[in-house]
């Protein structure tokens, strides 16, 4: 445990200039397109944006240049299609991943749209778990250099029209002070068919999606070791949820909301671990009952129990870590971790 922590501290000091990345290619229903064929190309190599008030926050630096927009193709998709991005080279920094969409005004093609309209968030992916070694980012599995692709299913009620679909990864390795977070994003151009009748909400403008001072953007992720994490920005549509496990290209889509973290914070505040009995079975049931009692609506999914465990282990590390609680946590979280290791 200690060696890993110190490794993380060392990693935090490494030069990250060679670890930047771009969202360079669109994936649609398993078809991987060429780099910058359907995604607007950046003109800043792979450097991040750091000013949340900049229009570069929309589609990265260069993404609003008319020549770039005009040469980028628009992919025709249907609501519910599986779409995603290829990353060059990988999401090699710690932090949350999200996907945003904005519909071009009627009569404006995606390749002529400047992204000045309303944006809504369809996907938010944060951590797989939070344990005594810190936040384990879902995009940055331990021992890897980060994911190099991901997919989502478009909302089934997405209204027809031309859209920008914007992937965003926030790097938090230097985010202990305001302005330290790095923003990596890329915009794909989509034309959505069908007759989706959904009304996306909430919405925001870009820039304007962040102040830069949100708890999820100003955080020392190394010390003191965080015990919770809340992604910045508006809630996702159509379901307000945060995912804790990535969907990868070529993998059966697992859903937009894998793992429920509302039960997790509730379980932590209700003291699930301190009341845990000395056997792993009892500890697990204590965590389970805490998660269940914390939520007035019956918590029946296994995912809720799994996500309740990570907070428990953090709590136990701060107080008196019982091996029983740790065992319960590791068994409960094993599903998530096993899948992570098979990836990348």
> To the nearest 10°, the Cα dihedral for 46, 52, 57, 58?
170
Contact 235, 202 (CB under 8 A): yes
Contact 325, 316 (CB under 8 A): yes
Cα angle: 2, vertex 20, 171; to 5 degrees: 55
Q: Does 40 bind Cu ion (CB under 5 A)?
A: no
Question: In terms of CB distance, is 63 or 94 closer to Cu ion?
Answer: 94
Question: In terms of CB distance, is 19 or 160 closer to Cu ion?
Answer: 19
Burial of 6 by CB count in 10 Å (0-12 exposed, 13-18 middle, 19+ buried)?
Answer: exposed
Question: Least distance in Å: CB of 19 to Cu ion?
Answer: 4
Question: Least distance in Å: CB of 207 to Cu ion?
Answer: 21
Question: Least distance in Å: CB of 184 to Cu ion?
Answer: 8
β-pair partners for 85: 26, 150
Question: Least distance in Å: CB of 246 to Cu ion?
Answer: 19
Inter-CA distances, 268 with 130, 224, 227, 233, 325, Å: 12, 18, 9, 23, 13
Question: In terms of CB distance, is 91 or 313 closer to Cu ion?
Answer: 91
Q: What contacts 71, CB < 8 A, 6 or more positions away?
A: none
Q: Does 89 bind Cu ion (CB under 5 A)?
A: no
Q: Does 20 bind Cu ion (CB under 5 A)?
A: yes
Question: In terms of CB distance, is 82 or 98 closer to Cu ion?
Answer: 98
| CA–CA distance, 93 with 295 (Å, rounded to integer) | 33
Question: In terms of CB distance, is 12 or 16 closer to Cu ion?
Answer: 16
Residue nearest to Cu ion (CB): 20
Question: Least distance in Å: CB of 303 to Cu ion?
Answer: 32
Alpha helices in 145-269 (DSSP H): 262-269
In this chain, which stretch among 4-12, 13-21, 241-249, 298-306 interacts with Cu ion, using CB under 5 A? Answer: 13-21
In this chain, which stretch among 18-26, 75-83, 227-235, 240-248 interacts with Cu ion, using CB under 5 A? Answer: 18-26
- Binding residues for Cu ion, how many (CB under 5 A)? 3
Question: Least distance in Å: CB of 25 to Cu ion?
Answer: 19
Question: Least distance in Å: CB of 171 to Cu ion?
Answer: 6
Q: What contacts 137, CB < 8 A, 6 or more positions away?
A: 94, 95, 96, 126, 127, 128
Question: In terms of CB distance, is 22 or 41 closer to Cu ion?
Answer: 22
Contact 171, 22 (CB under 8 A): no
Per CB under 5 A, the list member of 12, 19, 78, 174 interacting with Cu ion is 19
Question: In terms of CB distance, is 56 or 245 closer to Cu ion?
Answer: 56
Question: Least distance in Å: CB of 227 to Cu ion?
Answer: 26
Cα angle: 217, vertex 342, 225; to 5 degrees: 30
The helix-helix angle for 302-318 and 323-341 (nearest 10°) equals: 130
In this chain, which stretch among 15-23, 144-152, 245-253, 280-288 interacts with Cu ion, using CB under 5 A? Answer: 15-23
Question: In terms of CB distance, is 91 or 122 closer to Cu ion?
Answer: 91
Q: Does 16 bind Cu ion (CB under 5 A)?
A: yes
| CA–CA distance, 39 with 69 (Å, rounded to integer) | 9
Residues in contact with Cu ion by CB under 5 A are 16, 19-20
């Amino acid at each position: 445990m200690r060696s890993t922590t110190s490794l993380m501290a060392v990693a935090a000091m490494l030069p990250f200039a060679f670890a930047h990345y771009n969202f360079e290619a669109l994936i649609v229903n398993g078809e991987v397109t060429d780099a910058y064929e359907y995604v607007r190309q950046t003109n800043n190599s792979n450097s991040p944006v750091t000013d949340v008030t900049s229009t570069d926050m929309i589609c990265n630096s260069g993404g609003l240049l008319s020549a770039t927009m005009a040469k980028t193709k628009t992919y025709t998709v249907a609501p519910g299609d599986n779409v995603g991005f290829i990353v060059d080279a990988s999401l090699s920094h710690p932090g949350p991943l999200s996907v945003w969409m904005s519909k071009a005004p009627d009569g404006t093609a995606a390749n002529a749209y400047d992204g000045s309209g309303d944006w809504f968030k369809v996907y938010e992916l944060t951590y797989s778990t939070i344990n005594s070694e810190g936040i384990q980012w879902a995009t940055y599995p331990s021992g890897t250099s980060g994911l190099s692709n991901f997919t989502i299913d478009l909302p089934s009620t997405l209204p027809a029209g031309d859209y920008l679909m914007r992937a965003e990864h926030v790097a938090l390795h230097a985010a202990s002070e305001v302005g330290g977070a790095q923003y990596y994003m890329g915009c794909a151009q989509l034309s959505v068919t069908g007759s989706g009748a959904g009304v996306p909400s909430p919405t925001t403008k870009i820039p304007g999606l962040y102040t830069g001072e949100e708890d999820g953007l100003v955080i020392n992720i190394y010390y003191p070791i965080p015990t919770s994490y809340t992604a910045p920005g508006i809630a996702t549509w159509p379901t307000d949820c945060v995912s804790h496990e990535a969907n990868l290209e070529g993998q059966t889509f697992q859903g937009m909301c894998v793992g429920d973290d509302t039960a997790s914070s509730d379980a932590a505040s209700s003291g699930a671990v301190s009341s845990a009995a000395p056997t792993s079975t009892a500890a697990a049931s204590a965590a389970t009952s805490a998660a269940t009692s914390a939520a007035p609506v019956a918590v029946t999914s296994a995912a809720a129990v799994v996500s309740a465990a990570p907070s428990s282990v953090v709590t136990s590390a701060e107080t008196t870590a019982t091996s029983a609680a740790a065992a319960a946590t590791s068994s409960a979280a094993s599903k998530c971790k096993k899948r992570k290791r098979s990836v990348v």
